[in-house]
Each structure stands twice: as structure tokens, then as C-alpha cells.
Amino acid sequence: MPSMSKFHARASRSGRMFVGDEAGSPAVEFALIYPVFIAIVLATLQAATIFLIKAFFETAAQEAARIVLTNQTESLTAAQFQTQVCTQLTALFTCSQVIVELVPLPAGTTNLSSLLPQFNANGTLVSTPSVDVGAQAGGSGTDMLLVVMYPWTVYGGPLGLNFANLGNGQMLLASTQVFRIEPL
């Protein structure tokens, strides 16, 4: 059985050489780390995009509130006010998906949740919010509530990261402005 002992000797020598060989270790380390690195980069990009979009959206809502605040809505219809809000938004938003609610704030209101637009479990708007402009607009000194919402499409990340807060996989961007109309 000399051939069997040579086989075992050669096999054990090959095994020691294989275990001691570190030539492929950088490739293995790269293969283990790379997916996690890409996931972190993609999550960072998604979060940065959402932060930037929210900043644009908030600025547009503040400008829309300023239109009401300075008594510029008396001659506008609800559709014209919606268009005014949309002109404040960048090309990143689809105007038909912008949800606008503008109502006088009842005196003594402490909880705004009943005044906000409601969504069902699928992320669909339950009822069309009212926009009180023109003849229905609040007078000078009236406290107003302006809510501007937009369903922004987000994409789930590789590690289960998902920014969606609506049932349809979208993130609801919302800006709520409470202000008093200036006297004429």
C-alpha cells in the first residue's frame, strides 16, 4: 500500500497549501463587504433625495400660505388656488397628485387630526378636502389651516429599508401651515 500512503501525503500537503494560500482573500472579503456597502450607499441616496424633496415641498407650501396670508385669494377659485400651489412646486411633482386643503381654523381648536385629509389602508384619499378661497375665504384676522400633501414614490432598499408610509408603497409628503390672515 505504498501508493495509498503517497496519496495521503500528497493530499495533506495540498490541503496545507490550500489553507495557507491567501491569494484570493481580498476577492472573498470584497464579495462579503460589497453588497452591504452598496446597500448603505443606496439608502443614503434615497434618504438624501427625500430630504431634498421635502425641503422643496415645504418651501412651496410656505409660499402658498403667503398667498392666503396676504389676502391674494379673494378672486381665486379652488382650482386656481391649486394651480397657484403647483406653480410653486418644481418639475419633480405631478400637479394632479397634489392634495390641497385650506379651511378656517375653528376657534379653540387644539387637535388638528380631525381637520386633516384622511387616507384608507391602501393609501387612497378618502374624501376630497375643501379649499376655502374666493367668496368662502376667511376674512382678515381669521386663523387658517393650509395642508399640502403629495404621495411620493419610494423604492425599498436591499436590506429591507423602506420609507413608505402609505399602504400603496408611497411616502406621503405633508406640510401643515397654520396662520392668521393679515388685516387689509
Question: Which tens digits make up the pLDDT trace of 153-174?
Answer: 888 766 677 788 887 888 889 8
CA distance 29 to 36: 12
Using an 8 Å Cβ cutoff, are 179 and 105 in contact? no
- pLDDT per residue over 109-135, tens digit each? 777 777 778 888 777 778 777 777 765
Asked whether residue 150 carries a pLDDT value surpassing 60, the answer given is yes
34-85 pLDDT, tens per residue? 888 888 888 888 889 889 999 999 999 999 888 888 878 778 888 888 888 8
* Radius of gyration over every alpha carbon of the chain, rounded to an integer in angstroms: 29
